[in-house]
Amino acid sequence: MKHFVFILALLSICACDDLKVKKTSTEAILNEELQSFTWNEVDEYPTFSSCETSATQQYRKQCFEQTLAATILKRLEAERIIVNRDVLDTLLIQFKISDTGDLSLLNFKVDSLTQAEIPNIKFLVTSSLDSLPTIEPAIKRGQKVNSLFTLPIIIKVN
């Protein structure tokens, strides 16, 4: 019986070490959370109201990009562009959508031949962005966030 009490006391002392609560600071929790997700991806892509009915994220992203490209191309097609040589080029347009849904043009890459044939190409593209419908910003972990996109636009003028 004496041994039983001794073993029971020894087990209770050892068990108390397992029950110690490890204190974790809020900074440690925050750092762990920040490490656990990727910053380069969003949970929901920016979208137009017409694209919100799409079933999946991939379709909504595709709808957003197609709507944006169609708006730019519609504006370019409405202009009477006269060129000396045929133009076949891909414009790379980089833009930012703010957390409030404002779209701004960051970078515009165009071939020098296209720039020479259509000197006002940047103005035409920029002015087409003014006629876009309202944009819902990207969402990351329940918060509206800024997002950057590069959109290729194929220009063909004969």
Q: Where are the alpha helices (DSSP H) in the chain?
A: 2-18, 26-36, 57-78, 112-117, 121-128
Exposed, middle or buried, 46 (CB in 10 Å: 0-12/13-18/19+)?
A: buried
Residue keyed to tokens 């370019």: 76
Residue 16 confidence (pLDDT): 55
Residues 98-110: tens digit of each pLDDT: 999 999 989 989 9
User: Please, which pLDDT band fits residue 92 given cuts at 50, 70 and 90?
Assistant: very high
Percent of the chain with pLDDT over 90: 9
Task: Specify the amino acid at residue 79.
Answer: E
**What one-character-per-residue DSSP string does 11-24 give?**
HHHHHHHHTPPPP-
Would the pTM of this model clear 0.85, i.e. be above it? no
Please indicate whether residue 16 or residue 141 has the higher confidence score (pLDDT).
141
Find the mean pLDDT for residues 62-78.
87
Between the alpha carbon of residue 37 and those of residues 60, 96, 116, the distances in Å are 22, 22, 45
Residue 155 confidence (pLDDT): 85
Residues 19-60: tens digit of each pLDDT: 555 656 777 776 776 666 566 677 788 888 888 776 788 888
Please indicate whether residue 87 or residue 53 has the higher confidence score (pLDDT).
87
Please indicate whether residue 68 or residue 158 has the higher confidence score (pLDDT).
68
Residue 97 confidence (pLDDT): 92
Residue 128 confidence (pLDDT): 87
